[in-house]
Structure 1
Amino acid sequence: MKIILNDKQLEVDNLDLQELVAEIREDLTDEIIDQICVDGEEVTEDELISNYTVSEVDEIEFVTKKSIDLVKETLQEANNYLPKLKEGIIDTANLFSKGEIVNGNDKFQLCLDGIEWYSNVLIQILSLAYQDDAEVQEEKKLEEFNVIIKKVLTKMQEDDLNQAAELLKSEVAEYIEEFIELNNELLSKLK
Structure 2
Amino acid sequence: MIDDLMKETVEESLKYIPKLIVGIDKVINYIDDGMYVEANNLLVSVIDGLNWSVQAITLTMPLHGYKLDMEKVNESLKTLMSGIENLDYQLISDSLNYEIKDILSGYINYCRKGELN
User: One fold, TM greater than 0.5?
Assistant: yes
Cα distance in 2, alignment partners of residues 189 and 177 from structure 1: 16
Structure number with higher strand proportion:
1
> C-alpha distance in 1, partners of 2:29/2:106?
21
With over 3 angstroms needed to count, the CA separation of the structure-2 counterparts of 1:86 and 1:97, relative to structure 1, is same
Match of 2:92 among 164, 170, 183: 164
Rounded to whole Å, the distance in 2 between the matches of 1:184 and 1:106 is 31
Q: Which runs of 5+ in 2 are unaligned?
A: none
Higher-Rg structure is: 1
4+ runs deviating over 6 angstroms = none
Q: Which has the higher contact order (CA 8 A, sep 6+)?
A: 2
Q: Deviations over 1:39-74 (max 9, x none)?
A: xxxxxxxxxxxxxxxxxxxxxxxxxxx222211111
Shift of 1:137: 7.3
State the partner residue of 2:31.
96
* Matched position secondary structure for 2:60: helix
Larger helix fraction of residues: 2
1:93 touches 1:168 (CA, 8 Å); kept in 2? Answer: yes
Q: For structure 1, list consecutive stretches of 5 or more residues without a partner in the other structure.
A: 1-65, 131-135
Query: 1:51-102, CA deviations, whole angstroms, 9 ceiling, x for partnerless residues?
Result: xxxxxxxxxxxxxxx2222111111110000100111111111112222112
**Could you tell me how far 1:158 is from its partner in structure 2?**
1.9
Matching residue of 1:72? 7
Identity of aligned residues (%): 22
Larger displacement relative to structure 2 (75-84 or 164-173): 164-173
Q: Which residue of 1 aligns with 2:22?
A: 87
CA offset digits 1:132-190 (Å, max 9, x no partner): xxxx9724x133122112202212222221232122122221111012124446x6535
User: Which amino acid counterpart does residue 144 of structure 1 have in structure 2?
Assistant: K
The TM-score, its normalising length taken from structure 2, stands at 0.83
Q: TM-score, normalised by structure 1?
A: 0.54
Secondary structure (helix, strand or coil) at the match of 2:34 reads coil
